[in-house]
């Protein structure tokens, strides 16, 4: 609903120290919506294969970051 209405612009993932509440990592994901979907309410169907390719591309980007990010040696907050 938010995505199709063009109301969702960013998702932020924050990893915080359980002990101190300090922000250890912060990831910002910008959401780019299809203007035609927002304006006309037209839903574009994608094949499962196309969706999987897009997810795999994102996972490759995340995995490429792992090689230069420091390891987190302390418990993180949940929820």
- Candidates 41, 51, 50; CA nearest to 5 is 41
Is 52 domain-assigned? yes
Is 74 domain-assigned? no
Residue 65 has pLDDT above 80, yes or no: no
Is-above-0.75 flag for pTM?
Answer: no
Is 36 domain-assigned? yes
Is 3 domain-assigned? no
Residue 18 has pLDDT above 90, yes or no: no
Beta bridge partners of 13: 27
φ, ψ for residue 43 (rounded to 5)? -95, 125
| Residue span of the structural domain in which 53 resides | 10-66
φ, ψ for residue 24 (rounded to 5)? -95, -40
Is 79 domain-assigned? no
Is 45 domain-assigned? yes
**What's the total number of domains in the chain?**
1
């Amino acid at each position: 609903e938010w995505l199709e209405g063009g109301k969702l612009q960013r998702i932020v993932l924050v990893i915080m120290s359980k002990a101190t509440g300090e922000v250890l990592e912060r990831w910002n994901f910008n959401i780019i919506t299809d203007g035609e979907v927002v304006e006309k309410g037209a839903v574009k169907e994608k094949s499962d294969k196309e969706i999987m390719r897009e997810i795999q591309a994102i996972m490759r980007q995340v995995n490429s970051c792992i090689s230069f990010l420091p390891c987190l040696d302390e418990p993180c907050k949940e929820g």
